[in-house]
Amino acid sequence: MDIKAPRGTYDILPDQAHKWHYVEKCAHKTAALYGYREIRTPVFEQTELFVRGIGEYTDIVKKEMYVFKDKKGRSMTLRPEGTATVVRACLEHNLAQSSLTKLYYIGPFMRYERPQAGRYRQFHQFGFEALGSRLPSLDAEIIQATFDFFISLGLKDLQVEINSLGCRECRPAYKEALVTFFNGKAEELCSECNNRLTQNPLRILDCKSKNCREISHVAPSIFGYLCGECKSHFTKLQEYLESVKLPFSINPLIVRGLDYYTKTVFEIISNELGSQDALCGGGRYDQLAEEIGGKSIPAVGVAIGLERSISILEKRGIVIPTDADLDVYLVALGDESDLVVHSLQKDLRDSGFRVERDYIGKGLKNQMKDAHRSNAKLAAIVGADELKSKSVTLKDMKTGEQKMHPVKSVIEIVKKRLEGGSWS
């Protein structure tokens, strides 16, 4: 067949699905623990939302968005990230009125990027967004919640890196200093960074090319330019993190790829992920709501990459629990037994047991093979003898032990047996 999944996308096949169930379950659990409520937004939005929200000179807006015209000629974009969409929804539904609004989302996002290990054109993010406070204690909570999500997955020893990007008041002077510095090195910078020099000089700091990295390491640091408020915000954030013994380091080269960040930015990284080493990225975005045409709402958030989270679980050999095995496989011998098995299946399911039966008309041997293959704990067999005595034979698939029981008591006995009890 010539038709394939689009480049940079992939199918989650049934033998991988349990990994997604696992990370999603941990995500919902961590969000509940921290008091974040779920929000689901459309997978496409008006293009203007992202151009205004993310910034027209960012890589995402310039090169990576899937933009299309709808039938009425309106420009729409498949969502490349979650924060702008969540803020749009909050403004539209007046969610962030006076008190703090804590939300989370899980879902697919689309960016036209060059596919490579850890980088896809459709990927999944789990994100927290907290709107309505300027205080650094909230930045600390978001970092802590993200860290705890990774702990709940079983991931320890991850590096938390924080930085400050300043604000509207102090960042322009820093940008100017960077432009002056990098202008003197323009010939040594890659061609992409030469473009960034005029459009988005901060992004030069996180260019992956070796030359640019070496130059960035001796570039002026933001910490010489932060205004009093930004400086104190960053100091307090560190105090909060230290007070709960959350290990972190300061990395002045974290700038993030989205223009909306102010003050705090952070990433959690793992060296095991190669060049795409960031498991998540987040920070404060006090001006985003205004940028997209709403009132001013200070806010902070994070987006966690789920593909990379799963990839590191695999790399570290962490056993991801599989979805529960079957409780009972029902085996029928003949048409009359088939009817008994069919209604027994319904009764067992009504009682909450995971049950399967044959639907292709296989013989006893092959039905028993399927019972083994499905990892069922018990097989329930109905043949001629059982029909005659209105009974069912229950077989323990591990020990091979088996016994006939009246149909009426089967559910009670299955329950007892699965709880580790005896047949009688």
What is the binding site for ligand AMP (CB under 6 A)? 81, 111, 113, 118-120, 123, 125, 257, 278-281, 303, 305, 307-308
Name the token pair of 57.
């000179």
Minimal distance in Å, beta carbon 286 to ligand AMP?
A: 17
C-alpha radius of gyration, the chain, whole number = 28
252 versus 257: smaller Cβ distance to ligand AMP: 257
Minimal distance in Å, beta carbon 420 to ligand AMP?
A: 42
3-state secondary structure the chain: CCCCCCCCCCCCCHHHHHHHHHHHHHHHHHHHHHCCEECCCCCEEEHHHHHHHHCCCCHHHHHHCCEEECCCCCEEEECCCCHHHHHHHHHHCCCCCCCCEEEEEEEEEECCCCCECCECCEEEEEEEEEECCCCHHHHHHHHHHHHHHHHHHCCCCCEEEEEECCCCCCHHHHHHHHHHHHHCCHHHCCHHHHHHHHHCHHHHHHCCCHHHHHHHHCCCCHHHCCCHHHHHHHHHHHHHHHHCCCCCEECCCCCCCCCCCEEEEEEEECHHHCCCCEEEEEEECCCHHHHCCCCCCCEEEEEEEHHHHHHHHHHCCCCCCCCCCCCEEEEECCHHHHHHHHHHHHHHHHCCCCEEECCCCCCHHHHHHHHHHCCCCEEEEECHHHHHCCEEEEEECCCCCEEEEEHHHHHHHHHHHHCCCCCC
Minimal distance in Å, beta carbon 110 to ligand AMP?
A: 9
28 versus 119: smaller Cβ distance to ligand AMP: 119
206 versus 229: smaller Cβ distance to ligand AMP: 206
270 versus 345: smaller Cβ distance to ligand AMP: 270
Minimal distance in Å, beta carbon 153 to ligand AMP?
A: 13
Measured CA to CA, the distance from residue 282 to residue 302 in angstroms comes to: 4
Minimal distance in Å, beta carbon 124 to ligand AMP?
A: 8
Tokens 């789920």 -> residue? 306
108 versus 220: smaller Cβ distance to ligand AMP: 108
Minimal distance in Å, beta carbon 85 to ligand AMP?
A: 12
Minimal distance in Å, beta carbon 331 to ligand AMP?
A: 45
Minimal distance in Å, beta carbon 10 to ligand AMP?
A: 11
Q: Which of 295, 356, 311 is nearest to 330 (CA)?
A: 356
Minimal distance in Å, beta carbon 308 to ligand AMP?
A: 4
Minimal distance in Å, beta carbon 160 to ligand AMP?
A: 13
157 versus 350: smaller Cβ distance to ligand AMP: 157
5 versus 324: smaller Cβ distance to ligand AMP: 5
167 versus 302: smaller Cβ distance to ligand AMP: 302
Measured CA to CA, the distance from residue 28 to residue 37 in angstroms comes to: 9
Q: Which of 102, 145, 107, 143 is nearest to 125 (CA)?
A: 107
288 versus 303: smaller Cβ distance to ligand AMP: 303
Residue closest to ligand AMP when measured from CB atoms: 305
181 versus 248: smaller Cβ distance to ligand AMP: 248
